């Protein structure tokens, strides 16, 4: 056995969205705590957000030219097989050079070539599936994976039952304890302590319907005495920021991206969010009342399924995307009017949390390679 193997060095592959990237970073952090001598290498897709977010978290990343097939007719689909073949060759070279003891795939374009190349070489692989509806790449690679860590029960319809471990989704460690952070958050975001704070999240790229719903009601929010901390997303920030400035509203705070999510969660009295896998997992731990507005533009409408799992437990409210514009404030008002209802929802959502997901995943990883 080579010396590299003794260091428990691993590769983590995948990305594309925050829902893939942040769980991957949480797994890396947990592995580094247990094996501080281990090297951890990320492999992502060129041009995707993991190529900046992973180095910001302190890890090395290599990029592959792999890209997805477009559902509509597109000239870019002609280059797909060439990019895939090149990515498979590059993944094989990376694995040969780095010599990982195991490889973790978190979904996303890069995950496919890296897990496939690893499995061909007989290196143990673990799949981490964040969603209630498994992605195509993970379904294809599951048969030869050693372990599959999932965030929802009932995933036997996608994966071999004997390989599944129900761990939940790993989240950023800084949100596991929000106590004592409210005052710092008020100062950091320039918020007032005597106003109810609504945190609005549409993902790192943004959510068109949520942003339009905020625009429709933002004057009414301010007139009611609320303040908004609003992550509009990369694609919408300039337009939203301009509209807020023109409106001259002082308590609508629009941000392109909120990096300090622990502070944002700590200061929020109520949260409006999409119902993606990472959002749902984090909000379970935060324990605040939540209004989910699921995106309708996802495979098998899995965000609605995510949200409904919480609604059925009286742990959240769901507002349909098609109904959100013009109804956001009237959905929120009753929760601020009824403190007992808001508190009950916060308590119920915490009961659905899986705070030890990252630890359970690395325990599976260790048992796989021991």
Q: What is the pLDDT of residue 71?
A: 52
Confidence class of residue 50 from pLDDT cuts 50, 70 and 90? very high
Confidence class of residue 73 from pLDDT cuts 50, 70 and 90? low
Between CA 17 and CA 21, with CA 20 as vertex, the angle to 5 degrees is: 80
Do residues 143 and 51 share a domain?
yes
Do residues 50 and 198 share a domain?
no
Q: How many domains does the chain have?
A: 2
Q: Answer whether residue 68 shows pLDDT above 80.
A: no
Do residues 210 and 328 share a domain?
yes
pLDDT one-digit tens code per residue, 203-248: 766 799 999 999 999 999 999 999 999 999 989 999 999 999 999 9
Do residues 114 and 91 share a domain?
yes
Owning domain of residue 210: 177-351
Do residues 39 and 141 share a domain?
yes
Do residues 93 and 21 share a domain?
yes
Instruction: State the average pLDDT over residues 100-106.
Output: 97
Q: What is the pLDDT of residue 234?
A: 86
Q: What is the pLDDT of residue 57?
A: 95
Cα distances (angstroms) measured from residue 111 to each of 9, 21, 231: 17, 11, 28
Instruction: State the average pLDDT over residues 95-108.
Output: 96
Do residues 161 and 185 share a domain?
no
| CATH label of the domain that carries residue 113 | 3.40.50.2000
User: Which residues have C-beta within 8 Å of that of residue 13, sequence separation ≥ 6?
Assistant: 42, 43, 44, 91, 103, 104, 105, 106, 108, 110, 111, 114, 115
| Cα–chain center distance at 143 | 25
Q: Show binding-site residues for UDP-N-acetyl-alpha-D-glucosamine.
A: 17-19, 131, 172, 204, 258, 277-282, 303
Instruction: State the average pLDDT over residues 138-162.
Output: 94
Q: What is the pLDDT of residue 206?
A: 74
Do residues 213 and 237 share a domain?
yes
Confidence class of residue 69 from pLDDT cuts 50, 70 and 90? low
Do residues 87 and 217 share a domain?
no
Q: What is the pLDDT of residue 135?
A: 82
Do residues 85 and 197 share a domain?
no
Do residues 270 and 195 share a domain?
yes
pLDDT one-digit tens code per residue, 246-274: 999 999 999 999 989 999 999 999 999 99
Q: Show binding-site residues.
A: 17-19, 131, 172, 204, 258, 277-282, 303
- Provide the whole-model pTM: 0.84
pLDDT one-digit tens code per residue, 320-336: 999 999 999 999 999 99
Do residues 164 and 199 share a domain?
no
């Amino acid at each position: 056995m080579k010396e590299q193997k003794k260091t428990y060095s691993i590769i983590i592959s995948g990305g594309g969205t925050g829902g893939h990237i942040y769980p991957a970073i949480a797994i890396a952090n947990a592995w580094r705590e247990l094996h501080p001598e281990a090297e951890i290498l990320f492999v992502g897709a060129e041009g995707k957000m993991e190529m900046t977010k992973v180095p910001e978290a302190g890890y090395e990343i290599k990029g592959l030219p792999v890209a997805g097939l477009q559902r509509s007719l597109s000239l870019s689909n002609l280059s797909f097989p060439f990019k895939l073949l090149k990515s498979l060759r590059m993944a094989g070279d990376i694995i040969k050079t780095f010599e990982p003891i195991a490889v973790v795939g978190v979904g996303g374009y890069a995950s496919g070539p890296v897990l496939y190349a690893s499995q061909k070489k007989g290196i143990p692989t673990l799949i981490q599936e964040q969603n209630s509806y498994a992605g195509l790449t993970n379904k294809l690679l599951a048969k030869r994976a050693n372990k599959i860590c999932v965030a929802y029960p009932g995933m036997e319809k996608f994966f071999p039952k004997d390989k599944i471990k129900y761990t939940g989704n790993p989240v950023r460690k800084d949100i596991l304890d929000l106590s004592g952070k409210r005052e710092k958050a008020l100062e950091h975001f320039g918020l007032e302590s005597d106003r109810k704070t609504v945190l609005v999240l549409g993902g790192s790229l943004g959510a068109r319907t949520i942003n339009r719903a905020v625009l429709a009601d933002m004057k009414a929010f301010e007139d009611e005495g609320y303040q908004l901390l609003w992550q509009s997303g990369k694609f919408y920030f300039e337009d939203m920021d301009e509209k807020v400035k023109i409106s001259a509203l002082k308590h609508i705070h629009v941000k392109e991206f909120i990096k300090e999510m622990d502070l944002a969660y700590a200061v929020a009295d109520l949260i409006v969010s999409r119902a993606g896998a990472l959002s749902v997992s984090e909000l379970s731990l935060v324990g605040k009342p939540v209004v989910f507005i699921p995106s309708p533009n996802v495979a098998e409408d899995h965000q609605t399924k995510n949200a409904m799992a919480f609604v059925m437990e009286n742990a959240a409210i769901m507002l349909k995307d098609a109904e959100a514009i013009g109804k956001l404030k009237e959905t929120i008002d009753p929760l601020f009017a009824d403190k007992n209802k808001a508190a009950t929802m916060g308590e119920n959502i915490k009961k659905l949390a899986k705070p030890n997901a990252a630890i359970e995943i690395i325990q599976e990883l260790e048992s796989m390679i021991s």
